[in-house]
A and B are shown apart, each in its own frame.
Chain A
Amino acid sequence: MITGGGPIPEVPARFVLRRGLARTHPRRKAVPRHAARKHHFKAKVPLVEIFQNILNALQFGSFYALIALGYTLVYGVLRLINFAHGDIFMVGAYLAYFVAVTLLGIGGLNLGLHMDPGLALAITVPVTMILTALVGVTLERTAYRPLRRKGADRLYVVITALMAGLVLENGNLALLGASRKRFPDMIDKVIWNLHGVTVTNLKVIVIVASILVFLLLQFIVTKTKIGMAMRGISYDKFAIPLMGIPLDTIIVVTFVLGSAMAGLAGILFAMSYPILEPYMGALIGWKAFIAAVVGGIGDIRGAIVGGFLLGFIEIGVVAVFPSTLRDLFAFSVLLIILWLRPTGIFGVAQTTKI
């Protein structure tokens, strides 16, 4: 399991964690739970645990943030809550699975390939992002665009999105059956131990990827003409063609960006938690959507802040209370935030336009 990162120094028992990665830690078995807990309470400042929890929160927050970005991009442009987005994330994870097993030669299409896992991963990431983007664009073309053309009320478009999500879930169920898929190991897990805080290379990759994606999208939206057009559409769809800008192209770009990020989240999630099932996108999708709203939907910074905030609240609750209370507490906190700031953290009140 541990294949790199050098020898791991001995950790005093009191620093061994109660939850998170410690579960898979080889030394974990040697320290019974009650013993660890006793020592834990002796420590005056469980600084190591705090850092460990921050790291875990960042990892969880990264998934929420990556998915929230897709919700916020589409909402920002079309004022449409794309409820199928969580399931696009699920589709992304499955596409990553099929691409990966095909390349590794352990399933999928029998192309006779037996790639090195590192190379396979390098190909899986872009291919999955492209394929997931195609799924998102197909959804836009077949479900949302016809309604838009006919000037359908927003309610019908949202219901269409909900149904599209259910179609994706159940389509997957019909196609692949109820059995779960196990995502193959693509990278050698490296565990670093920084004064008792366990850091895996995968965690670092997830967190860095989400931050890079945020910076990239922020650049696109604020600095490029496509990004300006995306913001312009949200303000006045009618005036966009008057600038010589093809409305549909900008909408397609939006779906490409949002879905590609969901695809990336799908790969990273599958690598972190390698069991795939058709409903994996439902709850995480809802949570990411709520994160986007709390951050201020329509604003990319809001998606990132909301995603990480939800990660921190969830991990923070579990660090203090039994984990069954996690969602209750987490969403109560988010409710209070919305109660104080109904437009979300970065949101501005939308003036209704004619």
Chain B
Amino acid sequence: MARKLMKGCEAIGEAAIKANCKLFFGYPITPQNEIPEYMSRRLPQVGGTFVQAESEVAASNMLYGAAGAGERVFTSSSSPGISLMQEAVSYMAGSELPVVIVNIMRAGPGLGGILPSQADYFQSTKGGGHGDYRLLVLAPSSVQEAVDLMQDAFDLADHYRNPVMVIADGLIGQMMEPVEFKEDRQPCRSLPSKDWATTGWKGEGRPRAIVNSLFLDPNLLERHNEKLTAKYAEMARNEVRVAEYFTDEDYDLLVVAYGSVARVCLSAIRQLRAEGKRVALVRPISLFPFPTEVIERAANKAGRVLVVELSTGQMLEDVRMAVGKDFPVAFHGRTGGNLVTPDEAREKILAQLAAREASR
């Protein structure tokens, strides 16, 4: 299929349809409104259903119901709306429901602003709702990658019976880039049958399907938590996704960045390398599980790390955990909806290279 120019939000919507998702429940919020707009137009064409709910709370509970009935379903929102969904997210994790949630992050806290941000890293990866649970969290850095991850997200959700969150920002959501939908795409993981779903008992002698997260017996609940924990450990073993740039070569500084910021950093790094500066980049694609081992190895080769984020330093904590407390880790972050420009990234990288030189 020929490459086509698409806006990130619309491409995300089309990817869901290509993944055979026929249901969308959501509530409008900038800067992701093009997703529900697109789904409201496209879903009726493919025999699906689009519902604009009365609130994010309602939409997220509709997700719970549809996923419990065994259907592929997704919602999208932006930071304040995602906060409103956290109760249902915890319930869906507790009830082991496969759903896909897209967060086109905007600057916070509170209502904040509508411009790009990465300040929902903690909320996405450390449990935005209550209880011990983990989401699989994927962060694209281009429109094509958003399409690919979105299709994988449905397979991963079904495979693990777990909510998967795709997080990006307004830059990816609003930008147009060429995309290609592969015609012969195969599921990225095995898709077990959904015999747990509430598809109708019909007196057929199978146990009643009950989708529930309430366990009043402490021993039963502990056993449930152990089961979930084992599942998260399996995800951590098998689902790390990371892109490395120039880590096969010699370098004096490792930059760690994800999503839109990573490609801004990559532009600066390519330019600096052309000038003979030795810099490499690791771009986490899965934020949970976090590519801890890759970062530890790549950081040790450089001896110094610079983390760049559109936040005051959230992924920074996971990088610090990966490299240990005595390792020199510098940070550059922008907030409020301001972006990091290539020149700004260049300046910060040069400062770290100079600091490394001085410390020798």
A associates with B: no
